Structure 1
Amino acid sequence: MQISALPAERTTLWHNAVVRSPADPGATALLTRGQHIVWLGPLADAPTADLRVDLGGALVTPAFVDAHVHATDTGLALAGLDLSSVRAAAELLKAVAEFASGLGPEAVVLGHGFDESTWGASQTPPTAAELDRAAGGRSVYLSQASIHSALVSSDLLALAADAPGYDASGWVRRDAHHVVRAAAFGQITIVQRRDAQMRMLRHSASLGIAAVHECGGPGTSSEDDFTELLRLSGQGLPEVYGFWGELMGAAKARELGAVGAGGDLYADGALGSRTAHLGEDYLDGERGCGHGYVTAEQVRDHLLDCHRHGMQGGFHAIGDAAISTVVAGFAAADEVLGTDALRDARHRVEHAEIMDKRLIAAFVEYGIVASMQPAFDRLWGGEHQMYAQRLGVARSLASNPMGQMHNTGVALAFGSDSPVTPLDPWGSVRAAMQHFNTHQRMSAKSAFAAHTRGGWRAVHRDAEGVLVPGAPATFAVWRTPAGLSGTLPSLEQHDELPVCVRTVLRGETIYEQQ
């Protein structure tokens, strides 16, 4: 019997470009076959190809990875009620009323992004009763910028009356927030959810992002939300790597299709809602150190459970007290598993904002990947913004010490935590370069690597995130209005950021500017 030969994969020569590659810093062209890069170098030396694509002098770089997102929330925020520019309670109520007027009587008003720390002297938000009136009696759920607290209408508030974090004003935190969030998002239809997820992934591709890490779990998203998003992965869209954050949930995470049992597995809350667990008191509002949600013993047992099931583990931990608890759990797991096993797993901590030398050393020792968001410092760091209000200037300037962590050898993976901060990869690279604390600034090269190769390495895909022969053909093509600095865009503070004109994932164009 004669067996027909398989058709050869088509080759494409991408040329007239500045190609960022360690294999050939002067490359102006690359050749792809199927899903892989097979050659790069000067155009004069290029092999023949089935198709030639002139990139018009554009910059070609590895595509970005956003290492911490919430896809459905982001999609809803892109099409919904954006409260990030609101600067007073009255403005918030006006925005709710205008948005609600375009909805049906049974619809829920979903909004995101209010940040009362930007409201000046009066930072008291509207009450549930005021939201009821503004929304014409509709259910209202408005997440604070951190997504760890929300303003809600009276009907949703009543559902959480017995839960920790309940407040009669309608501003709920902790368990009460999880209750009302589940109720509000439970009113979203399957079609709405899919549309939101598609919108988010398409928007990501338009920004040169080829992969995202979705952080789900109880209190953050439903199992259906999580699995439906994973089914969209790579279907002409960015790839999705899911982390399911449920304590002792490694088997569940695997069943759901996750790559890890971590992400939004909360060791504490957030600085914006005063629920991050700190070693010293908050300085504004109600005094106290926030809330820790796990013990060192639970951290240890969760890590052991992850190793039994061959899963990557991790925790959301922002405050130094919460991170100390997580590190103590790692030390206890080390006594059972050994340091090499922990390091090989590349367990993660999301955010890791309030760190010190002892904690940084522990991250290095145990090989913990720090999934960090440079935009947090840009939006809330320094001497005059939210962190300074909550923590004081000294702790604010010491927060998000990504430069120190990088220099000490901590593996970094950058992301946005969208919709907490916008999907904005070049903005995040620049934020790491322009940290309010000059001692914490990173070079453009290191920050870019954390937002590209760092994201791939955080999911054990070590061959990705670099343009060399044999590597996946995953790259982004950029127009760079501010010019270049070597094979990276100029990213000075007031430079116009690059514009994505094409995103390619494993040889397939998933975005092209029209």
Structure 2
Amino acid sequence: MTNPSTLYRGGVLHCPADPRATALLVRDGRIAWLGVDADAPVADRVVDLAGALVTPAFVDAHVHATDTGLALSGLDLSAVRSAGQLLDAVAVFAAGLPADAVVLGHGWDESGWVAPELPDAAALDRAAGGRRVYLSQASIHSALVSAALLAACPQVVSAAGYDASGWLRRDAHHVVRAAAFASVTRAQRVAAQRAALGHAASLGIAAVHECGGPEISDEEDFTGLLALSGDGVAEVYGYWGELGGAARARELGAVGAGGDLFADGALGSRTAHVSRDYLDGDGGCGHGYLSAEQVRDHLLDCAAHGMQGGFHAIGDAAISTVLEGFAGAARRLGTDRVRAARHRVEHAEIMNKRLIAGFVEYGIVASMQPAFDRLWGGAGRMYESRLGLDRSLESNPMGAMHGVGVALAFGSDSPVTPLDPWGSVRAAVWHHNPTQRMSVRAAFAAHTRGGWRAVHLDNEGVLALGAPATFAVWSTPAGVDRGLPVLLADDVEARGPLDPTPLPVCRRTVLRGDVIYEEGSA
């Protein structure tokens, strides 16, 4: 017995194979017909699109769902612009919490402050009324913590990255992060995960790639999230980032043993491993967390268990180490077998032609976040202050990578940057470095079909006969051009991060025929 069929008619479809199509029929989770309204077959139900645009739904290729959900309901510090504003925000938020609660906040980014001085642990104690405080920097690779939280983690003083000021990095950050999040109950975690996946669906995102691992979350958090996948919310494809953990990743239900398997840290925390010293802070080249031999052995472990692998690598030195490991694995397995696995590198922010060539050689999927350039690229912003102008222009080279055939999968790294798929497409189209700009069509493909291909689902992410009925319905206040929304102002001078062009608004998201979001529904 088949499920009721639904005809969507009267729209504009992003369907390159049939650009005249205005309607599609959904039956048993698949697209059973598409064409013009006049030729539409009879269906059990009919939805009038009223001229709305229908596109394949988005895939966000790098998220942290629990953190995203907690950030949606917690203390958002992305708008603070000084130490005083941060302390004021902590005080207001903490006042509404029980005395034994932990204040969890996220999103501060001192690189955009006029005076980048940060409050110390004692000041956070005073602002929070003695409560434990954990405030992750935008990169989530460092955090400000209160004296009360430091006191609750006496072992942290001997961990790499500890600083008595309360700004912790590296291993010290992992210690206090685990302690802070231990205060979150299982029920709170489930609620946060559902909130994150529901929010994704409301933005036209039908699937996300969760990047978990022992340094990011715990196994219960990871498996609990996977259990929610597609249950009235976006689907979840999990990556478990544990070195040599391919067998464990498979046991946990992951599609890959990678994601946030850290080869280095982050530029915001000056822990990304770069080839030349940082120009600000205490200098140094950041930190590489893996050797080429460890990378090689992890890829061999993935091959032994039939798993996709991958690494978090941001700085050019870290990416170089990862590629050296790939070369070692290719000598053992053969390049063709390495390529067939479609291993991933997350972020790939500081690249050059040699590194891009390595991605091509080994068939590496680049899981990238266009919003990073929007927020931190360009003159006077974080990349330039950390690296200098010339090196900053090499950051996030999406256009160059696309141009030579590197497979791209776009995402947000939420809550590092917000879930914002059309904003990410626009950021890739209007990259701060003009040589790295992409067409709307190419950027959209990276954020839709690219995400599906990254998890080896090559037939998804298109509106085509027989394809899964996974799509989003949009109102497009700025209009439509050749099947995709207009995202940039006509006036070239108005374009960029503050482009005034209104972005599309999601009206409905459909996942394999089921509506997982509808505007106005509870």
Q: Same fold (TM over 0.5)?
A: yes
Residue in 2 that maps onto 1:468: 464
Residue in 2 that maps onto 1:17: 11
Structure 1 distance, partners of 2:2, 2:328, is 53
Structure 2 distance, partners of 1:329, 1:446, is 30
Residue in 2 that maps onto 1:88: 82
C-alpha deviation, 1:156, in angstroms: 2.5
Q: Give the residue type in structure 2 aligned to 1:279.
A: S
Residue 107 (structure 2) pairs with residue 140 (structure 1): no
Residue in 1 that maps onto 2:222: 226
Residue 145 (structure 2) pairs with residue 152 (structure 1): yes
Residue in 1 that maps onto 2:450: 454
Q: 1:499 aligns with which of 478, 502, 505?
A: 505
Q: Deviations over 1:7-62 (max 9, x none)?
A: 23321110000011122111000011011001111111111111111011100000
Residue 65 (structure 2) pairs with residue 59 (structure 1): no
Instruction: Note the residue ranges of structure 2 that are not aligned, 5 or more in a row.
Output: 489-498
SS in 2 for 1:254: helix
Structure 2 distance, partners of 1:328, 1:468, is 40
- Equivalent positions of 1:69-80 (< 5 A) are 69-80=63-74
Structure 2 distance, partners of 1:188, 1:327, is 38
Q: Deviations over 1:287-335 (max 9, x none)?
A: 1000000000000000000010111000000000000000000000000
- Equivalent positions of 1:109-258 (< 5 A) are 109-120=103-114, 122-158=115-151, 159=153, 160-258=156-254
Is the contact made by 1:153 and 1:170 (CA closer than 8 Å) also made in structure 2? yes
Q: Deviations over 1:410-464 (max 9, x none)?
A: 0000000000000000000000001000000000000000000000000000010
Is the contact made by 2:26 and 2:513 (CA closer than 8 Å) also made in structure 1? yes
Structure 2 distance, partners of 1:315, 1:261, is 9
SS in 2 for 1:165: coil
Structure 1 distance, partners of 2:175, 2:445, is 38
SS in 2 for 1:184: helix
Structure 1 distance, partners of 2:3, 2:74, is 43
Q: Deviations over 1:189-238 (max 9, x none)?
A: 11111111011011000000000000011211111111110000011110
Structure 2 distance, partners of 1:513, 1:139, is 39
Structure 1 distance, partners of 2:202, 2:299, is 36
Residue in 2 that maps onto 1:4: none
Structure 2 distance, partners of 1:344, 1:433, is 29
SS in 2 for 1:231: helix
Is the contact made by 2:130 and 2:148 (CA closer than 8 Å) also made in structure 1? no
Residue 443 (structure 2) pairs with residue 443 (structure 1): no
Structure 2 distance, partners of 1:140, 1:298, is 35
Structure 2 distance, partners of 1:488, 1:31, is 21
C-alpha deviation, 1:118, in angstroms: 1.1
Q: 2:304 aligns with which of 298, 304, 308?
A: 308
SS in 2 for 1:95: helix
Residue 101 (structure 2) pairs with residue 107 (structure 1): yes
Residue in 2 that maps onto 1:26: 20
**In percent, how many aligned pairs have the same letter?**
73
Residue in 2 that maps onto 1:3: none
After TM superposition, the score normalised by the length of structure 2 is 0.97
Structure 2 distance, partners of 1:370, 1:403, is 12
Residue 394 (structure 2) pairs with residue 398 (structure 1): yes
Q: Give the residue type in structure 1 aligned to 2:140.
A: I
Q: Give the residue type in structure 1 aligned to 2:276.
A: E
**Number of residues of Structure 1 aligned to a counterpart in Structure 2:** 507
Structure 2 distance, partners of 1:276, 1:293, is 10
Residue in 2 that maps onto 1:408: 404
Is the contact made by 1:181 and 1:219 (CA closer than 8 Å) also made in structure 2? no
Q: 1:279 aligns with which of 251, 275, 278?
A: 275
Is the contact made by 2:477 and 2:503 (CA closer than 8 Å) also made in structure 1? yes
Q: Give the residue type in structure 1 aligned to 2:501.
A: D
Structure 1 distance, partners of 2:185, 2:259, is 25
Is the contact made by 1:22 and 1:468 (CA closer than 8 Å) also made in structure 2? no
Structure 1 distance, partners of 2:332, 2:43, is 55
Q: Give the residue type in structure 2 aligned to 1:406.
A: H
Structure 2 distance, partners of 1:486, 1:469, is 20
Residue in 2 that maps onto 1:508: 514
After TM superposition, the score normalised by the length of structure 1 is 0.98
Structure 1 distance, partners of 2:25, 2:326, is 45
Residue 265 (structure 2) pairs with residue 259 (structure 1): no
SS in 2 for 1:161: helix
Structure 1 distance, partners of 2:391, 2:78, is 24
Runs of at least 4 residues of structure 1 off by over 3 A?
none
SS in 1 for 2:236: strand
Residue in 2 that maps onto 1:431: 427
* Range with bigger deviation, 487-496 or 420-429: 487-496
Is the contact made by 1:178 and 1:219 (CA closer than 8 Å) also made in structure 2? yes
SS in 2 for 1:49: coil
Structure 2 distance, partners of 1:388, 1:161, is 32
C-alpha deviation, 1:135, in angstroms: 0.5
Q: Give the residue type in structure 2 aligned to 1:153.
A: S
* Range with bigger deviation, 456-465 or 155-164: 155-164
Structure 1 distance, partners of 2:500, 2:438, is 17
Q: Deviations over 1:153-176 (max 9, x none)?
A: 113224211000000100000000
Is the contact made by 1:109 and 1:141 (CA closer than 8 Å) also made in structure 2? yes
Residue in 2 that maps onto 1:328: 324
Q: 1:342 aligns with which of 338, 341, 350?
A: 338
Structure 1 distance, partners of 2:394, 2:245, is 33
